[in-house]
Amino acid sequence: MKILKKLLIFLLILLLLVSTFIFLIGFGYYSKTLHEKSLTSRVEEVTSKEHFVPFEQLPKNYINAVIAVEDHRYYEHGPVDFIGIARALYTNIRDGEFDEGGSTITQQVAKNIIFNQDKTLIRKIGEIFGAYDLEKNYSKDEILALYVNSNYFGDGYYGIYAASMGYYKKEPKDLTLEEASMLAGIPNAPSVYSPSVNPKLTKKRQEKVINSMVEYGYLSKEDSDNLLNTLNTE
């Protein structure tokens, strides 16, 4: 028993040292990236674009759809949602699939405007530091606007304005619930959910968005059923 206890203590210390080392590397990577261009400059690159859509001009249905499907506790947690990470891990193990990422909207903004899209552990750690800096300097509403304006929506459309005009020939403020729910689902995997790639998967993803809106209280079951019936007859 003494040997086993010592082994466990050794493994815990080793895990702590390795984790600390990885976090230090991640922080160094984040700091180096900001040294090349500050966070403020990166944010201004998004907000200064000609067709940047501020939070106040985003339709409520679209905001609700995005929050429901991407980060339903967005206004309740901090930069990192540890409950969300645990839930995503459980869901992935239970379903035998890895569809749930656990990243908050703020972390995704950090990925979009600070880092490249490479999926590495170091970049993921860097995202955490970026998320904390974002929430220290910007409001939740401002960060959500950065999110929808920096996302890729497939078919060459970057940002909600380009996606709304490209897919529906209308400005975001004029989007219907059906249109908003479709656009909210694409950024999770544009190469998969873009309507021009696979309309069936686009509709399946849209149904997930609608069901999430019902689950988290953004849409009534009656309105959901009517919308889903409309989708299934198209």
pTM: 0.86
Other CB atoms closer than 10 Å to residue 209's CB: what's the count?
Answer: 23
Q: Kindly report the length of the chain.
A: 234
Which residue matches tokens 């210390």?
Answer: 13
What's the confidence (pLDDT) of residue 93?
58
| CB 143, CB 109: distance < 8 Å | yes
Nearest to 27 by CA among 123, 93, 116, 108: 123
Backbone Cα Rg of the chain: 20
The larger pLDDT score, comparing residue 103 to residue 94, is at: 103
* Residue 120 pLDDT greater than 80, yes or no: no
Would you call 191 exposed, middle or buried from its count of C-beta atoms within 10 A (0-12, 13-18, 19+)? exposed
- The CA distances from residue 168 to 129, 160, 180, in Å, are 37, 11, 10
Q: What is the pLDDT of residues 202-215, one digit of tens each?
A: 999 999 999 999 99
Q: Model confidence at 2, in pLDDT bands (50, 70, 90)?
A: confident
The larger pLDDT score, comparing residue 183 to residue 197, is at: 183
What's the confidence (pLDDT) of residue 29?
79
What's the confidence (pLDDT) of residue 121?
79
Give mean pLDDT, residues 132-159. Answer: 97
Other CB atoms closer than 10 Å to residue 49's CB: what's the count?
Answer: 15
Q: How many domains does the chain have?
A: 1
Other CB atoms closer than 10 Å to residue 105's CB: what's the count?
Answer: 23
Nearest to 101 by CA among 115, 116, 112, 88: 88
- The CA distances from residue 38 to 130, 131, 181, in Å, are 11, 14, 34
Please give the residue range of the domain that contains residue 86.
2-50+59-73+81-233
Q: Model confidence at 96, in pLDDT bands (50, 70, 90)?
A: low
Considering 82-91, 92-101, 119-128, the range whose residues carry the highest mean pLDDT is 119-128
Which residue matches tokens 């079951």?
Answer: 221
Please give the Cα distance from 202 to 28 (Å, whole number).
Answer: 39
DSSP conformation class of 139: -
What's the confidence (pLDDT) of residue 90?
60
Give mean pLDDT, residues 190-219. Answer: 94
Nearest to 197 by CA among 152, 160, 159, 149: 152
What's the confidence (pLDDT) of residue 126?
87
What's the confidence (pLDDT) of residue 100?
52
Give mean pLDDT, residues 201-229. Answer: 93
Kindly report the average pLDDT of the chain as a whole number.
88
- The SS3 call for residue 80 is coil
CATH number for 118: 1.10.3810.10
Q: What is the pLDDT of residues 5-47, one digit of tens each?
A: 767 776 787 777 777 777 788 777 788 888 889 999 999 999 9
* Residue 180 pLDDT greater than 60, yes or no: yes
